[in-house]
Amino acid sequence: MKQILSLAGVCVLVGSMLCSTALAQQAPVSKKQETDILIIEEDSGGDDILIIEEDSSGSVADLQEEIDRLATEIDDMRDLFGTLRKNVNVTGYGETHFNLPTDNRDNVFDAHRFVLGVNARFNDWIFLNAEIDYEHAAQALEFEMAYLDFLLDPKFNARAGTVLIPVGFLNEFHEPVLFWTVERPVFHNRVVPTSWNGTGGGFFGTFGNFLGGMNYRVYLVNSLRSIQTNPCDSAHGGGGDCGQFKGSSGVRSGRAFPDELVASDYALTGRVEFSNLFPGLQLAGSFYTGNTTQGLIPQNGRTTIIEGDIKYRYKWLDMNASIANVHINNAAELNSFAIAQGNASGNIASNILGWNIQAGIHWPQLLGKSTSHDVVTHFMYEFIDTQNEMPAGFAPNTGSGGETDVYTAGITWFPSTTNVSLKMDYTHQRFQNGTSTDQVNFGMAYMFF
């Protein structure tokens, strides 16, 4: 009933307006007396009421002023987006794998990772680099890096934030199109872990005329964590108080992400590269050293990594090799604490050793073909011993987590671009106890920037 009355009221008002219009035609008024009619819909307790009132503020000049204001806002937005397009760049990479073991294990598809990054230029000397890693079909999220670069001089610049640890040639530059195998090499997993970051800062630079060019990085960052009190998924961060060394994976599970990160211990790390000792040859070395017990026991558990690597390319021949030694102080005390907490079986080594060597042939160059495609056949041997030396009173793991020989052979195709690769390889792993595994792998990888 209220709606009918409201509608009747509107009809009366509209009729009055029509009458007023007819009278206005008989007796014109000046422009100063012109008014606008505003019809406003108001919700009143479930009943819709139309309110009609006069607005004498509207004019052509006011309309023009509003148009000018909106035009200015649009210009400002255009300038903003133009600046963003110029100074902010979205980057990323990803890879998908298909693994076919030859034993009783299941075949597996894995959208292993999809990474989004941002490079931002604030001015001529301050830059941001950041990446977020969506792993295993985005079921695991990793904060990979986010740091500011302050470019002061080619020989001396500053960096602060969450940085990638500069140990080995793969950890800082681990995009999947930059290595030939489907999976990352075992050496870069169990001896020198990849996707390994630390929060802190330091310096970097280049000396272009020294021995064919020398690059360096040196940082002070939070240290690895060798022991923990709370059970947690240390393989994926698990919080800033999580992480512990393991006999099967060495220091890899001691990585900790900056999630309210406990930082009672710090580490010094750095890398030097001689990028062109003679044409095609790069020689480099890395180090890392820091206490790792984070104050949980009196012993410091100092862990020191010394690494060396070489890359060489001559026409169609391409090769690389790496070696690393990891020494862990107070391994006996670390094992005793881990056993008391119920978090490990007591097989942390006092020394870890690993090395690998890989060679590849670029077939278009070998055959003298002029093409934008590249096809590389490759072979790699790896030796991994995560329990190279054990502390007194503790025995090494004799299963698949101990000494391992890894043989990988495969082929990689780069179709008209180095930013896309299709891979296939075969991997044979032989363990200390005499057992072995065999697996065929297929992969696709891409990188954009």
Structure confidence by residue, pLDDT tens digits, 354-377? 999 999 999 999 999 999 999 999
Token representation of residue 145 = 């890096």
Q: Which H or E element spans position 278? A: none
Domain that holds residue 274: 90-448
Question: Mean pLDDT across the stretch 380-401?
Answer: 88
Token representation of residue 45 = 């307790």
**Sign of the CA dihedral with 244 first, then 249, 252, and 256 last:** negative
pLDDT for residue 241 is more than 50: yes
Q: Which of 145, 437, 168 is nearest to 322 (CA)?
A: 168
Q: Where are the beta strands (DSSP E) in 122-207?
A: 126-135, 140-153, 156-164, 197-207
Please provide the average confidence, as pLDDT, over all residues in the chain.
85
Pairwise CA distance, residues 129 & 22, whole Å? 70
Domain presence at residue 71: yes
Q: Where are the beta strands (DSSP E) in 21-153?
A: 36-44, 47-55, 88-101, 108-121, 126-135, 140-153
Q: What is the DSSP letter of 143?
A: E
**Each residue of 38-84: pLDDT tens digit?**
444 455 455 555 454 555 555 777 787 878 788 777 776 666 666 66
Cα-to-chain-centroid distance, residue 170? 13
Question: Mean pLDDT across the stretch 160-179?
Answer: 97
What is the model's pLDDT at position 386? Answer: 93
Claim to verify: residue 57 and residue 129 sit in the same structural domain? no
Domain presence at residue 263: yes
Pairwise CA distance, residues 159 & 172, whole Å? 14
What is the model's pLDDT at position 88? Answer: 93
Domain presence at residue 215: yes
What is the model's pLDDT at position 292? Answer: 95
Residues in a beta bridge with 301:
none
Question: Mean pLDDT across the stretch 137-143?
Answer: 91
Helix, strand or coil for residue 87? helix
Claim to verify: residue 216 and residue 330 sit in the same structural domain? yes
Domain presence at residue 430: yes
pLDDT for residue 411 is more than 90: yes
What are the Cα distances from residue 317, in Å, to 232, 262, 313, 369? 45, 46, 6, 15
Domain presence at residue 43: yes
Claim to verify: residue 302 and residue 419 sit in the same structural domain? yes
What is the model's pLDDT at position 242? Answer: 78
pLDDT for residue 395 is more than 70: yes
Claim to verify: residue 54 and residue 137 sit in the same structural domain? no
Cβ neighbour number for residue 91 with a 10 Å cutoff: 16
Claim to verify: residue 60 and residue 139 sit in the same structural domain? no
User: Using only C-alpha atoms, what is the Rg of the chain?
Assistant: 33
Question: Mean pLDDT across the stretch 103-113?
Answer: 95
Claim to verify: residue 179 and residue 268 sit in the same structural domain? yes
Claim to verify: residue 6 and residue 101 sit in the same structural domain? no
Domain presence at residue 80: no
Domain tally for the chain? 2
Residues in a beta bridge with 47:
44
The listed range with the strongest mean pLDDT (77-91, 205-219, 337-351) is 205-219
Claim to verify: residue 111 and residue 199 sit in the same structural domain? yes
Helix, strand or coil for residue 11? helix
Claim to verify: residue 235 and residue 190 sit in the same structural domain? yes
Claim to verify: residue 281 and residue 405 sit in the same structural domain? yes
Span of 4-13, 143-152, 185-194, 298-307 with lowest mean pLDDT: 4-13
What is the model's pLDDT at position 235? Answer: 46
**HSE (CB half, 13 Å, CA atoms) of 72?**
6
Claim to verify: residue 131 and residue 20 sit in the same structural domain? no
Instruction: Tell me whether residue 272 is exposed, middle or buried, using C-beta atoms within 10 angstroms of its C-beta: 0 to 12, 13 to 18, 19 or more.
Output: middle
**Each residue of 7-48: pLDDT tens digit?**
344 344 444 444 444 434 444 444 444 444 444 445 545 555
Q: What CATH number did the domain enclosing 206 receive?
A: 2.40.160.10
Claim to verify: residue 313 and residue 175 sit in the same structural domain? yes
The residue from 47, 75, 103 where one domain ends is: 75
What is the model's pLDDT at position 231? Answer: 65
Domain presence at residue 82: no
Q: What is the DSSP letter of 155?
A: T
Token representation of residue 149 = 């670069």
Question: Mean pLDDT across the stretch 124-135?
Answer: 96
Domain presence at residue 390: yes
